[in-house]
Structures are given as C-alpha cells and as structure tokens.
Structure 1
Amino acid sequence: MALASSLVFATLATVTRYALGGATSSDAVNVFAKSFVGLFVAYKLFETFAYPAFFSPLRNLPGPKDHHFLLGQALNQFRADSPNEPYVSWVKKWPDVDFIRYMSFGNSEALLVTSLAAHKEVLQLKCYSFVKPPFFRRLLGDIVGFGLVFSEGDAHKSQRKAFRGMLSLGNLKNFLPVIRSKAEELTDVLDRAIAKDDGVVELIEVYSRLTLDIVGIFGLGVDLQNLSTEHSIFHDCYHQIFDPPPIGLAVTAINAFVPIRWLPIKPNRDFLNANKVVHTILGDYVKQRIEDVRSAREQRRPEEADKSKDLLTYMVEEKYFATDGDVWSEQDMLNQILNFVAGGHETSASLLVWATYVLSTYPEVERRLVAEIAQLLKRNPRPDYAEIEGLRYLNNFMRELLRVHCPAITLPREAIEDVVIQGTLIPKGTTLIMLPAAVHRNPSIWGPDADEFDPDRWDKLSAETTDIYAFAAFSHGPRICSGRAFTMLEFKAIMVELVSKFRFERIDKSDIQLINPSVLLRPRGGLRMKVVRRE
C-alpha cells in the first residue's frame, strides 16, 4: 500500500510541476498519463523482481533457486514425473524447517508448509487467517461447486455445523448395507470380466463407476446405475472432466494461473459441456426433491424416523425449509451436492486403485489382509460396522495406503492478513501449500523408510508420528474433510468384499506413470489388471 501511495503522489507531483510551468491542460493530461504508466511499470518491476529478492520478510527462508524468472517453479512442476514433485524432493533436502520458499507464477512467493507445528498453526490455531487462493477456485470451483469446500469465515462455520448432523456416525452405520450391496454388484461385474475377457479389467473406470453409484445413493437417494449401464452419462461426463487428454490437462493447468476457459477451443468446449450436463442433472434432482418434501409436508405424511436419509433429503428438510433463519437456497444445495458427488467419488475410486496396485505388488501384505478378512467372514458372513472397524490389519493397511498413495495432492491457502506462523511473518496475499505427501514422505517425521509401504509401522508409532498432524490425508482443524468417516467406511467395506473373493495380477510390470498436472494421484492411461477368483 505504501508503494502504491508513493506511485500516486509522485505522478501528481510531476503533473503539478508541469502545470505550474504554464502548460495547457491537454499537455498536463498527456504528461500525467505517461508519468503514471512509467511509474506503474517501475512499480510492477520492483514488486516482481526487486521486492522478493531484497525486501521480502521471506527472502531468507530455505528453498530452491532453479526457478524461471517469470514462471517460477511452474515449468519444473509440469515436467515432473509426479504431481507431488518437486515438493517432496525439497522436503527431503530441507526436512527440519517450518517452511520452504519457492517462486511461483509471475515470480510471486509461495511457501510449502513442512513442520507439524506450522501445520497446526495454519490449519487450527489461525485457520481463518487463510482462504482458498483464486487459482484453486479456478482449478476446482466449476467442478465441485462453491459449497463447503470454498466457503469462508462465518459461512464455513455455519455449513460445517450443519454437516456434522448430516454425516453423523449413526447415519453412516445405517448406510453400510447399501455399500455392501454395491460391492457385491461389483463382484458380479468382475465375474463377467473373468468369463468374457480373461479377467482383464481397467480399474479406474470400474472403481469410478462403483463409487459414483455409492455416492449417488448416499448423496441423492438415487441409484445412478453406472455399474450396470455401459454408457452412463454421469460417468462419461466426470471422465471427461477428471481424465482429459494431454491438451486438456495443459489447458486446465494454465487456466489455474491465467483464466482461459473462455477460449473457443475443443478442450474448453468438452470441459464446459460435460460440466453443464452434470450441473443440469444434479440441479433437476434438487428441484424434484424440494417438491417431494414440500408435497409430503402439505399432506402431513409421517416421517420415517428410523430410516437413514440421503444427504439431499436431509438438506432440503433441515435447511431449505429451515425455521431458524439459516436457510439454504436451491443454488446453495446444488453447490453442496456438487462438492460431495464430485469430490467424494473420485478420491474414493483413486484410493481403491492404489489399494489394488499395492495388493498386486506386496504378496505378504495381501496374504495377511486375506487371512484377517477370512477369519472375520467365518465368524459372520455379513459383518456389522463394529466388526469391520475391529479389523486391525485392514485399518493399518488403509492408513498406510493414505500415507504413501494419498489421492489428494494439495490443500492451498492464501493469507488474508499479515500473520505470524512459527515466528515467521507471512505477508497478506502469500500462498501457502499444504501437501499431504510433503508430510507423509518427510524423513524427519517418518524416518529413513518414509517411502516404504509398511502397514506395521502403525503399531509402533513414536516421536512425531504420534502427532495427529503427521497424518495429513484429510487435513485437520475446522477445515478437515467432512466426508472422511464416509470414505473410510466405504473403503473398508469394499475391501472386505473384494479381497475375500479376488486376487489381482499386474499385466504391465513396468513402473507406474502418473498424471501430471492433476488434482488427484492417478496412474496415467489407467491401470489394467487381471482379476482371478480365489479358490
């Protein structure tokens, strides 16, 4: 602000001196325009190059120096083999610091948050000093809507409180039979693949269809029938949105920094059309549910108190027809449903993909998981919530999977005020990157074997690994993922069904290539496996 004020005063002073010299008004305006442009250019050059190098309070923090003078680390990020790079490499070089400073697009400063103490301050103690940055809103806002994920301040507090009731453990427990039913439907799909295609299956597509069906029933009260339909409009649209061709990925990456969705090119048309279809269909469900609930109220039909409600019905009853003044509009509910459907099914599908990959790669892990699940099913072929939760090795397997192959890539924040974190002054407008992999692969937290997949490590946690912030898959604090309990129950129930009936063999034994840039950790080109029935 001080520099901007100096720019205005300097320009006015120049014009005043010129006017007092007897110049005409048009000459004065001309001088003013040229002076302002010249000083503005000088200011932007100072802000872009001189300030970060010589004046920023962050300038002495450790960090890489191999950035492009204007694009920062963007090129290195796009050229990396993983969307988690080069961040994880930086953490291994500077494992014991609070922040790693790097230059982003436009030579702007950004910080990778590394220490657990810094995570706690940003995510918990000073949570509302930060918001989701504009580039992240452009990256995901159109896809997941502007509901709970992008709400801030008092609006976020209110929505978070509402979702505690909607996603209560009791409601989730009652939903277990639906998850089991869909998992059993998946076994039929895999059996048909064994009979028809020698068991060769592309897992990303199959798991995406499965989790989209599950989240459809839980979120909308509607079976979208993706598993039973060859061409599902929902699945096809989300496939276009989340798995575009390489040119589409490039456009998405560029759009995060420079808005280009308006350009009349094919990747934009495909993305916008798919997104419009999803918004329209979900919007129609919202409208219909409002009418259904209104009609039931007018006819005074008794509510089924013991029946678990889907998310949309809960929202309409509790928020659209709210009497306490906290009313959600039709658009509000559409945004929340977009959050849950888009975010919920793709992350869960990615987690199942990596689970299958690990089981096909680590025979001893598979053997122990099969043995534990077999013992449970021998006692009770249809285990309840408590019995599934009691599977110790499955719990360890899931946590280690989320540690090593966390589907979520980044949780960015932007300071909305000057704030001090761990003794470091973070200027207003600074972007902070919260990267689960940067915590999970940090050797100063998880030891020299941080890159290894070892479910047994969860039985012998010590030192910093006992800190809740050492496990970053769902974030923490007021902005912790509201669907975490749903995701974990869904995953474990599906694993019980799949592991007990099938084993998976890799067809391509070469190293997995990852999609980059990407908002999710996904294998590039899918993941084809051979599915074999257990004896």
Structure 2
Amino acid sequence: MDATYYLERLLRLEILVAVLGVYLAQLVAYKTYQFFIYPYFVSPLRHLPGPKDHHFLIGHTLNQFRSGSPNEPFLAWMRQWPNASLIRYFNVGNSDAVLVTSLAAHKEILRDKAYSFQKPAFFTRLVSDIVGFGLVFAEGEEHKKQRRVLAGLFSPSNLRALVPVFRDKARHLSYLLDQIIETEDGVVELVSLYSKIMLDIMGVFALGVELDNLRSANTSNASFDECYHELFEPDGLGQLLMAINGIVPIRWLPVEANRRFIQANKTVRSQLTGIIQDRIRTVGAAKAAGMDGGPDEGNDLLTFMVAEKYYADSDRWTEDDIMNQILTFLAAGHETTAGALTWATQLMIEHPSETKRLRTEITTLLQRDPSPDQHTIDTLPYLHNFTREVLRLQCPAVNVAREAAEDVVIQGVAIPKGTTLMMQPAVVQRNPSIWGPDCDEFRPDRWDRLEGPAEDPWAFTAFSLGPRVCIGKAMTMLEFKIILIELVSGFDLEAVGDARMSEIKLINPSPLLRPEGGIRVRVRRVEEP
C-alpha cells in the first residue's frame, strides 16, 4: 500500500511537471511570436515607414524618455518621413503604435471615426489620479450625454459673465507682481505664479470658491494649491514614478515620492468632497424652498451640476460623478493656460518688436475702453494672431492619444483593435509641409495670410478637433487674452540669464510642455510715456 501511495504521488508530480512544462512552452512560444514574429512578419502595419532603433522589450519608450522633450522623437520622425500619413513605432512589449502626421488621417480619427477609438490604458493610469474619470475619459454615447449636459456652461452668455472674474484675477496678478518688484527686485519664477493664478480662476469657475482660502485639516496645514502643486510638479523621482505608473501600476510602492503624491491627492479630494457636500445641501435646501437651484445657479460648474444632475429626475449623477468632473476641469483648465502664459512671456522677451506691437494695440484699446468686453477683446487682430501663434509654436498640451476600440481602416491602412495612435499638436503645427519652411519661427503675422494646407482648420490642433474638441476652448482663449492685456499693458519683462527657447530644458516625460525648474524673469512697471 505504501508503494502504491508513493507511485500515485509521483504520478501526480509528473503530471504537474508536464502541465507546467506545457504552460511554459506555450508562454515562451507566445512571447516569441509576440516579440519576434508578429511585429515583423504578420502585423498589417509592418509595411509602414518608421524608426527601427527600438528595444525588443520596451520598444521606443526609453528613446522617448531620453529625447529631452515630450515632443520628441515624434517631431524628428515626422521630418524624416515627410510624406507619410502614418508612421509606425513600438510601445512596451514590441506592441504596435502609430504616429499620425497628415491632416487627412487626423480628420478620419478625430471626426469621421471618433468613436471607434478610446483613451489608451497607459494614458488612464498616467493622469486619472489627477484629472478623475470625467468628460476626458467618457466614451461613445456616455461622452455625448456628458458633453450635452456641460455645454451650457460655455455658452456665449456665460462666457460674457465670466469676464469680470478673469479681469479681477488678472489685476490680482498685477498686484502680486508689484509686490515682487518691491520685495524681490522684480525677479519671479513664472510657472508657479501663473499656475496659482489660473488655479484661482478655475476655483471660482468650477467651485464658486477662492481656493487660496482652503487649508488642509492635517497637521501640515497645507493649502489646496500646495497639495495640487505636488500632484502636477513632483520632484525628479516623482516624475519617474509617474511615467512608470503609466506602463505598470506602482503607486503601491512604499517610497517617499509615492507617499507624498498619495497624501496630496487624498487632501485635495477631501477638501473637494467637503465643498461638494456643502453645495448639495445648499442647492437641496433652495429647491425645497421653491428656488430652482439656489440663488447662484449657473454661476459655477459645481452648482450647475448639482442642480441639473444630482437632483435630476432621471439619469442622476452621484457625488463621485461630480467629483470626477470637477477634477477634470480643474486640471484641464488651469495647467494648459498657465503653460500658454509661460511660453507667451518667453516669446515676448525673445521678440521685443512683436511685444511692442502688441502693447501698442492693447494700450490704444484701453485708452478708449479701460474695461473692454469679450466682443471688443476678440476684435483685436494682433492679439488674436499673437495668442494663436503662441499655441501653434509652443502648444502646452503634448499628446492626444487614442487606442483602436475595434478593427478600423485609416487612410487605407488596417489598424488592428488595441493599437495605440499618437497625435501631437506639434507634429501638425510644426510641420514644414503644412506651415512652410519657417514653421519653427515665431511670426504672428502669418495668420493674416495663411496659404495652402495651413488654411485648413485642421492645421491648428491645440485644442484637438472633432466631437471631442476641447469644450473649454473659447473660455481658455478669453482668459488667456485678458491676462495678456493686463500683463503687457502694465509690465516690461526681461530674462534672468541668457536662456533662449531652444535652450530651455523641458520636463520629460510629461503630458504638458513645461520647463524644468520654471522660468525666472525680471519684471518692472512700464514707464509712462
């Protein structure tokens, strides 16, 4: 009996070893196929042009991290294959990815077949902790429904009502700069200053509160904007962990950068939860008293969402739904405009003659109308050209990433389900075949005489296009212009040091075009003529 027992155990062990061996053999065969056979001999994308200097395990990811710019090596690839609509490269695991370069391909992906694509998993992991799962991550019919609900906040009448808010914050910026002139000899780091001002604006728009008045309940007593800054501008290790987390989830690792991120995120969400719950009670009490949504209905995003969706008769939004939308608009609405202001300032310093023209146009307007309305501001031709040229040349948003949700054909090329497609504003807006040989030069006057492909509305992709075009585009342009009017009319700026645009070190990897360490300038009041 003992011999039989041991024989049975040996047989079971042999079976286990055999099963494990078959599994390992299948795994090795599959990985061999995935890494070395499918990409080169089977993939329908194998005939597309593209770089070959990739690693079989991590694709071109390391090359991107080493490139020094989040726009690279994509810009270099576009210029190496100027006639290609699609350029193939490799992601982690030698998986297929496609850089989209032509206007025709952009139109197919972002307009004609917009809902055949979705946000890639890596992009979700990269930014969802910060921006929530609001409108940015909604897909298909859900995206259409959310956009219809939120569109009313960006109507022309609502934007006109926001002009005093933008102007008030612009004047607060002037106040801060005057303080810096008195106490710091006018030397200021612009990125953090602009980020704070834009976050203040988004606090009023999205929440109806002044965010700089919010303090944390924890022992550090950190302010809202200090915690938010930690999320958006981590140190070097934090940037590396954020990039890796986009590939493999690693927020659970017990390292200090992760702990700071998690604590800051917890603090931000805790403070927002308090505001949301308080607004739910306020709007609920107003409705119970026979007031449709309270006395402030429509003045801010939160009140609007609570009145329209939290207390809706059907298809109601939960508190978590509202939190996700608030996070989305705070993130999307403040960092991009802050980045635009940063690059506008750098370009003004490097192009004094363009700055002089801009100041002349602005001061002429202010002499006639010290508090111009939205219509008047939008009629300033050089300001309009200037802002568009800033966004063309130095677009703050780096990537528009999509993943094929189904097998789809783009420009006659079969794109398999799961393929990542990368669209970069810089690849379109700094493309010589679209914008001419001077595409890397700052020339606001080019907007008066657009020719050829540059005349196509799809040649300007700073806000994306199609059904998923940035819902806040008009608002962003308005606040950008109002702050520039205040800044240019009141202050002269000069560089601290001699760093020019081409020499500024960028944070990389990053979803935004941001200078590493910020940009320091010296400001002084414009002398009266």
SS at match of 1:181: helix
Looking at structure 2, the residues matched to 175 and 292 of structure 1 have their Cα atoms a distance apart, in angstroms, of: 22
SS at match of 2:136: coil
Whether the 8 Å contact between 2:212 and 2:224 is mirrored in structure 1 is: no
Give the 5 Å matches for 1:191-340: 191-225=178-212, 233-301=223-291, 309-323=299-313, 325-340=314-329
Partner deviation per Cα, 1:39-97 (whole Å, 9 max, x = no partner)? 22201210122100111110010111111221111111111121101100111111221
Looking at structure 2, the residues matched to 185 and 517 of structure 1 have their Cα atoms a distance apart, in angstroms, of: 33
Looking at structure 2, the residues matched to 384 and 524 of structure 1 have their Cα atoms a distance apart, in angstroms, of: 36
Cα drift, residue 336 of structure 1: 0.1
Looking at structure 1, the residues matched to 84 and 298 of structure 2 have their Cα atoms a distance apart, in angstroms, of: 47
State yes or no: 1:122 paired with 2:112. no
Give the 5 Å matches for 1:51-130: 51-130=38-117
Aligned to 1:378: 367
Whether the 8 Å contact between 1:360 and 1:506 is mirrored in structure 2 is: yes
Cα drift, residue 37 of structure 1: 2.1
SS at match of 1:429: coil
Partner deviation per Cα, 1:473-521 (whole Å, 9 max, x = no partner)? 0101111111111111110111111110001100021221111111111
Could you tell me which amino acid in structure 1 is paired with residue 453 of structure 2? E
State yes or no: 1:150 paired with 2:137. yes
Whether the 8 Å contact between 1:408 and 1:436 is mirrored in structure 2 is: yes
Q: 1:450 aligns with which of 435, 439, 451?
A: 439
Could you tell me which amino acid in structure 1 is paired with residue 271 of structure 2? I
Cα drift, residue 30 of structure 1: 3.9
Looking at structure 2, the residues matched to 493 and 142 of structure 1 have their Cα atoms a distance apart, in angstroms, of: 31
Aligned to 1:530: 522
CA RMSD of aligned residues (A): 1.9
State yes or no: 1:360 paired with 2:349. yes
Aligned to 1:520: 512
Looking at structure 2, the residues matched to 28 and 79 of structure 1 have their Cα atoms a distance apart, in angstroms, of: 48
Looking at structure 1, the residues matched to 11 and 250 of structure 2 have their Cα atoms a distance apart, in angstroms, of: 43
Looking at structure 2, the residues matched to 27 and 225 of structure 1 have their Cα atoms a distance apart, in angstroms, of: 68
Looking at structure 1, the residues matched to 22 and 210 of structure 2 have their Cα atoms a distance apart, in angstroms, of: 65
Could you tell me which amino acid in structure 2 is paired with residue 530 of structure 1? R
Cα drift, residue 308 of structure 1: 5.0
Looking at structure 1, the residues matched to 92 and 34 of structure 2 have their Cα atoms a distance apart, in angstroms, of: 13
Whether the 8 Å contact between 1:213 and 1:227 is mirrored in structure 2 is: no
Aligned to 1:433: 422
Whether the 8 Å contact between 1:209 and 1:227 is mirrored in structure 2 is: no
Looking at structure 2, the residues matched to 179 and 443 of structure 1 have their Cα atoms a distance apart, in angstroms, of: 36
Partner deviation per Cα, 1:395-442 (whole Å, 9 max, x = no partner)? 111111111110001011111111000100000110000111111111
Cα drift, residue 234 of structure 1: 1.7
Whether the 8 Å contact between 1:213 and 1:226 is mirrored in structure 2 is: no
Looking at structure 1, the residues matched to 124 and 171 of structure 2 have their Cα atoms a distance apart, in angstroms, of: 37
CA 513–430 in structure 1, closer or farther in 2 if over 3 Å, else same = same
Could you tell me which amino acid in structure 1 is paired with residue 382 of structure 2? Y
Looking at structure 2, the residues matched to 426 and 396 of structure 1 have their Cα atoms a distance apart, in angstroms, of: 37
Percent of aligned pairs with the same residue? 54
Q: 1:399 aligns with which of 376, 388, 408?
A: 388
Segment of structure 1 superposing worse, 240-249 or 33-42: 33-42
SS at match of 1:505: strand
Whether the 8 Å contact between 1:172 and 1:486 is mirrored in structure 2 is: yes
Looking at structure 2, the residues matched to 304 and 163 of structure 1 have their Cα atoms a distance apart, in angstroms, of: 18
Whether the 8 Å contact between 1:189 and 1:227 is mirrored in structure 2 is: no
Partner deviation per Cα, 1:434-475 (whole Å, 9 max, x = no partner)? 111111111111111111111111111111111111111010
SS at match of 2:244: helix
SS at match of 2:521: strand
CA 534–425 in structure 1, closer or farther in 2 if over 3 Å, else same = same
CA 533–350 in structure 1, closer or farther in 2 if over 3 Å, else same = same
Whether the 8 Å contact between 2:153 and 2:301 is mirrored in structure 1 is: yes
Looking at structure 2, the residues matched to 308 and 301 of structure 1 have their Cα atoms a distance apart, in angstroms, of: 13
Aligned to 1:349: 338
Whether the 8 Å contact between 1:212 and 1:226 is mirrored in structure 2 is: no
Equivalenced residue count is 511
CA 492–227 in structure 1, closer or farther in 2 if over 3 Å, else same = farther
Could you tell me which amino acid in structure 1 is paired with residue 357 of structure 2? R
Q: 2:451 aligns with which of 462, 466, 478?
A: 462
Looking at structure 2, the residues matched to 191 and 452 of structure 1 have their Cα atoms a distance apart, in angstroms, of: 32
Whether the 8 Å contact between 2:286 and 2:294 is mirrored in structure 1 is: no
Could you tell me which amino acid in structure 2 is paired with residue 396 of structure 1? N
Looking at structure 2, the residues matched to 162 and 258 of structure 1 have their Cα atoms a distance apart, in angstroms, of: 34
Cα drift, residue 304 of structure 1: 7.5
Looking at structure 2, the residues matched to 232 and 406 of structure 1 have their Cα atoms a distance apart, in angstroms, of: 31
Could you tell me which amino acid in structure 2 is paired with residue 522 of structure 1? R
SS at match of 1:189: helix
Could you tell me which amino acid in structure 1 is paired with residue 480 of structure 2? F
Cα drift, residue 301 of structure 1: 3.9
Cα drift, residue 380 of structure 1: 0.3
Looking at structure 1, the residues matched to 361 and 175 of structure 2 have their Cα atoms a distance apart, in angstroms, of: 23
TM-score (norm: length of structure 2): 0.94
Could you tell me which amino acid in structure 1 is paired with residue 521 of structure 2? M
Partner deviation per Cα, 1:129-149 (whole Å, 9 max, x = no partner)? 110011000000000000100
Partner deviation per Cα, 1:154-195 (whole Å, 9 max, x = no partner)? 111100111111221211110100110111111111011111
Whether the 8 Å contact between 2:211 and 2:225 is mirrored in structure 1 is: no
Could you tell me which amino acid in structure 2 is paired with residue 93 of structure 1? Q
Whether the 8 Å contact between 2:103 and 2:458 is mirrored in structure 1 is: yes
Looking at structure 2, the residues matched to 168 and 348 of structure 1 have their Cα atoms a distance apart, in angstroms, of: 19
